Structure 1
């Protein structure tokens, strides 16, 4: 347990942030706001052009699902009383009704892949080869379309058969079962030194597959960065769970109800096909920029070098990812820290991009991370800061049951509850009971995040202002339409962005919109 200071503690509440939708209307729930008012701003294009890649059965299931998206999907119910006690679920009104966009079924571009070819490549003995060749079925199809067809695609839908999910993940159990045992499977994997030589040199094309982690989803995202194409990966079992049953006649995996799947899929299609997000946080402080630092070890690097990136989020809610320099950022203390030059260069790129968009540097630049910053890093941040910008370093860490707060009632403490420990420290419950939907979505007493304002180049901000900002940043997950996340977007997607950037096939990605990574 954490030893709390002996000074008097103060419990406060951070108001649930409101979101802005069409016609300047505000509500705190994405589903209600989209249902009543539509997306914030007008769609940049109302007819979305979709490309679908998958097996013939997968494409058929997606086309069937698209009809449901356009018609609307009700929340399943077995009785009026049950529906009344599930206010966190919402009927999906339809793609055009909620988002103001449409998909012409006749204009969908579809490319069918051979299931037997997928079976063959996913069964290859070497895991790297199996995943790379399987991912190339999808990527090569995109490349061929861009090369041969004039019609552009706004968002690609990759419908993935279950054998890809089973066999094309790191150490997937489905792949181990193809061989003998986990140990034997590991022994039989080829390495760079095992590759054939041609004219005295290693076959570079064969070697490249070892620069990517054998993970289908990450490889698809990384390889599409070079084409500037967005995609949404969907499993066949998500679209048709009732068609994939176990011996007991039950679905082989649990899925969300169809209406929730529709909300999430529609939100992703809108976000990845339009120039602006479907909603933004209302009353976001002007002139403020937020970045989350991302670190990830580079696979197979002999010196444990790491990739660094910065996720920048503006008042509009949308984000940009900046790739920093690779280097020996992983320290003996098992923490990631940039060199002085690397830190300065990365922050300068963020500041210059902000100024290019708004015509001036930000008044405040908040840097969110999970660890403290080294002296070299802070000196670099200070040197990069123009006189009019106050750079503030904030550490945000999930807690693992170190502290609990109990509430007298049927539900745990309310989301937004904060325990102020001092002028620079607090615990913030970003998950908890939500009066708006009359429920708590977690399995046990929620854990708070630990928030510490580490340093500032100017005046130290008020801790409650920082907590309010963090709550607002939990409301802009455009990969779903959930009420709110348990972590701010600056921290929430750090691992996902890092997972993509460390792939060898993403090495040329310097600055890309955030929508390409999720």
Structure 2
């Protein structure tokens, strides 16, 4: 129902930390009260490091440093000092029991000479994953999180569309396109060709391929670039080094928060949490770069009322509509993916019950067939609400002040629609998220019934649940922020399976 447009302000959502204390900024909460699950995860954390010897030594030195306070060179509120790993999270790394796995620098340099992108990245990833899987299968020493330390050359030449420089010692090894999927048997080189073909079953992306190959083994990793922890050794440019130093405390916050979360802890949870409500973000990824191809993989990210998340892999099917440039499920598959989510919530719930409400977040409208599937799966279990969330560049709001519109501003122009500013001026930080005048998110309740102000409050709160970093907030809710990266991990290989796994396996 159209109504007179009204601008309201949604106060900054609080987060809950140790001792059940609530505050808006994650850094403030962790410093003052410690993490939410402070009694669950405490003391020694068993970690491992895999990579070349020199890089491992650099990372060990860095991890030792973040056990002590890391001062910020900035005087603003946006980059506070880091108190130290144990002081903040109550955990520490026992360096005497730290596990190390060597990755040959000679082998890395050899594969970096491969001109074929698939062969280069596939072999570089296997240098790490083969040894991690072998360790998991043979060793009895538990490792909670593996730090995967990579040289800048892998980061640079392990990405899609990367090209190595032309050189006389480059290695040209691979198969022509027509032979990559061929089932024809070779009289002399069958085994060699089969080994080469395997590389073409994976996406050319070191990060996504490594995560995908470890899903079945449930090995949790954190990839660290050499330049993020040893930039003074790599660079000669003093101005560049000085600029990077400004982020030292921020990096310590981020790496420590991620380590705590991937070790099983919950750094914080939503403050004004609505019990028995969960949020589902639908994830799609095309399997073919052909514009007219309809085949895609579907998955869902489910975020619980606690703030933690899980990922469900759905089926592969003709979900993509090239005319509308949209993804939609058929009814049976919609039933399947909602059923998975509801059962997982029930198993996780202390009361062994289904959620009261499930909010499905998507960037497109829902078609009748898929919505019927959602409703059928939720029948007599819970209420389903469909919400469309999109970045909107149609207009901007300006203020006659020295700072931009505040984060949390909300223009309600319909009983089911509103514009929400998740970026903007933040009073606590005395600055804004982003450098430009912010654009709003266009929020619309497209299916089911709910209060638009409540929906916007939830979405604003969900911008504060990124445990892969430790910032005040993101511009997008976590239900959509990682959709693309999760889809890429799930489709990084043609036969990647993976059960229902926590979100930490994908980031």
TM-score class normalised by the smaller sequence:
over 0.9
Report if the CA contact (8 A) 2:114-2:172 is conserved: no
For 1:468, the equivalent position in structure 2 comes to 457
For 1:341, the equivalent position in structure 2 comes to 332
Structure 1 residue 277: deviation in Å? 1.4
The 10-residue stretch of structure 1 (104-113 or 364-373) with the greater mean CA deviation from structure 2 = 104-113
Aligned runs of 1:56-205 on 2, under 5 Å? 56-77=53-74, 83=75, 86-172=76-162, 175-178=163-166, 190-191=176-177, 193=179, 197-198=185-186, 203-205=193-195
For 1:286 and 1:436, how far apart are their aligned partners in 2? 28
For 2:15 and 2:495, how far apart are their aligned partners in 1? 33
Structure 1 34/252 Cα, relative in aligned 2: closer, same or farther at 3 Å? closer
For 1:394, the equivalent position in structure 2 comes to 387
Report the TM-score when normalising by structure 2.
Answer: 0.93
Report if the CA contact (8 A) 2:115-2:172 is conserved: no
For 1:36 and 1:417, how far apart are their aligned partners in 2? 28
Q: Which deviations, in whole Å up to 9, do the C-alpha atoms of 1:293-335 show, x marking residues without a partner?
A: 0000114689441000010011111001000000111113211
Is 2:213 the counterpart of 1:220? no
For 2:358, the equivalent position in structure 1 comes to 365
Q: Residue 493 of structure 1 is aligned with which of 473, 478, 482?
A: 482
Q: Which deviations, in whole Å up to 9, do the C-alpha atoms of 1:448-504 show, x marking residues without a partner?
A: 111000011xxx111000000001111110000100110100001100110100122
For 2:415, the equivalent position in structure 1 comes to 423
The 10-residue stretch of structure 1 (364-373 or 55-64) with the greater mean CA deviation from structure 2 = 55-64
For 2:330 and 2:213, how far apart are their aligned partners in 1? 29
Is 2:318 the counterpart of 1:328? yes
Is 2:377 the counterpart of 1:384? yes
Is 2:41 the counterpart of 1:48? no
Q: RMSD of aligned C-alpha atoms?
A: 2.4
Is 2:418 the counterpart of 1:432? no
Q: Secondary structure at the match of 1:420?
A: strand
For 1:80, the equivalent position in structure 2 comes to none
Q: Secondary structure at the match of 1:411?
A: coil
For 2:284 and 2:340, how far apart are their aligned partners in 1? 17
For 1:492 and 1:255, how far apart are their aligned partners in 2? 27
For 1:381 and 1:158, how far apart are their aligned partners in 2? 39
Structure 1 residue 291: deviation in Å? 0.3
Q: Residue 272 of structure 1 is aligned with which of 262, 277, 280?
A: 262
Structure 1 residue 67: deviation in Å? 1.3
Q: Which deviations, in whole Å up to 9, do the C-alpha atoms of 1:73-109 show, x marking residues without a partner?
A: 01025xxxxx2xx111111101111001010111111
For 1:232, the equivalent position in structure 2 comes to 222
Structure 1 481/208 Cα, relative in aligned 2: closer, same or farther at 3 Å? same
The 10-residue stretch of structure 1 (26-35 or 352-361) with the greater mean CA deviation from structure 2 = 352-361
For 1:148 and 1:64, how far apart are their aligned partners in 2? 28
The 10-residue stretch of structure 1 (159-168 or 381-390) with the greater mean CA deviation from structure 2 = 381-390
Q: Secondary structure at the match of 1:317?
A: coil
Structure 1 280/247 Cα, relative in aligned 2: closer, same or farther at 3 Å? closer
For 1:371 and 1:254, how far apart are their aligned partners in 2? 39
Q: Which deviations, in whole Å up to 9, do the C-alpha atoms of 1:231-281 show, x marking residues without a partner?
A: 11010000011222267874599576111000000011111112x411101
For 1:164 and 1:37, how far apart are their aligned partners in 2? 39
Is 2:198 the counterpart of 1:208? yes
For 1:230 and 1:114, how far apart are their aligned partners in 2? 22
Structure 1 residue 44: deviation in Å? 3.1
For 2:236 and 2:385, how far apart are their aligned partners in 1? 53
For 2:277, the equivalent position in structure 1 comes to 288
Q: Which deviations, in whole Å up to 9, do the C-alpha atoms of 1:59-79 show, x marking residues without a partner?
A: 1111111111111201025xx
Q: Secondary structure at the match of 2:280?
A: strand
For 1:49 and 1:505, how far apart are their aligned partners in 2? 33
For 1:498 and 1:478, how far apart are their aligned partners in 2? 18
* Unaligned ranges ≥5, structure 1: 78-82
Q: Residue 446 of structure 2 is aligned with which of 449, 454, 462?
A: 454
Report if the CA contact (8 A) 1:125-1:189 is conserved: no
Report the TM-score when normalising by structure 1.
Answer: 0.91
* Unaligned ranges ≥5, structure 2: none
Structure 1 334/88 Cα, relative in aligned 2: closer, same or farther at 3 Å? same
Structure 1 residue 287: deviation in Å? 1.5
Aligned length: 496
For 1:319 and 1:428, how far apart are their aligned partners in 2? 24
Q: Secondary structure at the match of 1:312?
A: strand
Report if the CA contact (8 A) 1:319-1:513 is conserved: yes
Q: Secondary structure at the match of 1:9?
A: strand
For 1:29, the equivalent position in structure 2 comes to 25
Report if the CA contact (8 A) 1:299-1:502 is conserved: no
Deviating 4+ runs (over 6 angstroms): 185-189
Q: Secondary structure at the match of 1:43?
A: coil
For 2:245 and 2:337, how far apart are their aligned partners in 1? 40
Structure 1 103/433 Cα, relative in aligned 2: closer, same or farther at 3 Å? same
For 2:284 and 2:242, how far apart are their aligned partners in 1? 35
For 2:495 and 2:462, how far apart are their aligned partners in 1? 27
